[in-house]
Structure 1
C-alpha cells in the first residue's frame, strides 16, 4: 500500500478513500479470497453508516449470500494530515469517530476491529505521532521541515516519541496497549456529538455516558532517516 502511494507519483492520495483499494489488493494478494473482502459495507451497528473494509470468515463460499453473522474483521482507515493535529477540530473528531465506532462494534458485535493510520513520513510523524517538527506553509500545501539531511549510516530503527493529542490513545510500540475512557461531558467535541450523530440499528444496544477504548499496536513502520518515505501503523480496537 505504501509502495502504491510512491508509484502514483504524488506525495498524497487525492482522498483517504483511495486507501481502500490498494489495501484490499494487498489483503487478497496475501491469501484472502476476493469474495471475502467488501469495501464500504453498511454498518451492522449504526444506521446509514459504512465501514471502510470488512472481511468475512473463511467458511463463506463464493456463491453464498453474505450475512452479518459471517463477518470476521472490520477496518477503518485514515490519512495523517495537518488537520489531524488540531485538537477538537474536524479531523480530530473524525479520527475519534472511527476509533469509537470500532470500539462499539467490538463491544456489541464481538468482531475483531482494526484502525489504520498512514501518510508520508513527515506528516505521520508531525501530525499523528506529534513529535516536535517545524511545520511550515508552502502555498496551499503543508510541508514539514527536517533539520538534518538523509544519513546513509542512520540506524534502521529508533523509537517513535509521541507527544501529540493521540499520545494517550495509541501506543507506538508494537505489542503495547493503551486504555482510554471517553465520556460525553463535552457538548462540542468527542463522545456526545458522536452519539447525537449516530443512530443505533438494534434496540438491544444502547449508549452510555462513557466508553472504554483499548488500542493495541500490532504493526508500525520503523522510524529513522532511512525510512522517510511513507509510513503506517495498525491498531486493534476493543471497547467496553
Structure 2
C-alpha cells in the first residue's frame, strides 16, 4: 500500500515523529510519502491508500493554519489516522485534526501522541547555562511511533472483513470543554506569534544562506531582499519558532529569545528535507 503522512512542523519535532511512524510502514514493505504542510502547498491524495495527519499542540489545540489547510483538501474517503506532539499537554490537538478530516475521509484508524521538550526559544536555557541539557521526544514515544503502523494495518485488515463500528467510535479523540474555551480566546495567529516575538536580524551573523525563507518558515512570513537576507512579515507569522531556533548562524532573534539557546534538536528534519 501507499501511505501519505501530512505533517506541520516548525522546528522538526513533529517531522521526526512522522518519520518514526513512517519507518514502521516501510519495514512492513509499504511505501510512504512525507508531506510537510506549508502555506501554498497542494497535495493530490487520490493516489494513497492510507492518510496520516499530524501537528504540534499550539496552546492546547492544533495550529489554525493546519486545520484551515485540511478543510480545503479532498481526502477521497481514504482511511486515516492522526498524531500530535507536545511539551506534555496536547489539549484538543488530536480532536481538532480528526474534526477537520472526518467528513471527507474514510474509516478512522486511531491516533498517537509524542511528548518532549517545548520548542519556545525564550523558555530555553540561557546561552551561558551549559549545564542544562536539551532533550527531544521521549525514547518510549519514538519507539511506540515505530510500532504504531502495526495497529493501523491490523485494524484496516480486520475492518475490511468485519467492520466494528463500536471499536472505531472508541478510537475517536475526545475534546475537553475547558481547552475549547481557552482556544477560543488565546490561540489566534497573532497570539501564537507573540510567544516568538518580533523578529530582528543580526546582519553580521547572517550569511545569506536563504534557508529561513526556502526551508524553515511554513507560513510564508519570510522573504528575501536583493542581498538574500530575510525580511519578516509579522502579519503572516504563526509562531512556529522555526526561524529563531533553526537559523544555522543564530542570526534571527527577538527581544524575548535573545541570549537563549536554540532548540535545534531535530533541525535536519527541516533543513535537509
Does the alignment reach a TM-score above 0.5? Answer: no
TM-score where L is the length of structure 1: 0.30
TM-score where L is the length of structure 2: 0.28
Query: Relative CO higher for 1 or 2, CA cutoff 8 Å, sep ≥ 6?
Result: 2
